[in-house]
Amino acid sequence: MLNWVLVFLVIAIVAGVFGFTGIAAEAVDIARILFFIFLILFLVTLVLHLFR
């Protein structure tokens, strides 16, 4: 899932460089959502691992 965050981040950077602000904003939003999902899943598995 972290790979998808990086892919959308690169898409956002490239789109921002070329001036496609609408595409860049959407790619940033998708990357941000995926990052937070990844972070929550990481924290849940970390807590579960510590209690095991």
Q: Identify the domain containing residue 31 by its residue range.
A: 2-51
Q: Domains in the chain: how many in total? A: 1
Amino acid at 12: A
Query: What is d(CA 6, CA 52) in angstroms, rounded to the nearest whole number?
Result: 31
pTM of the full predicted structure?
A: 0.64
- The pLDDT tens digits for 3-52 are 777 787 788 888 777 777 777 788 888 888 888 988 898 899 999 999 98
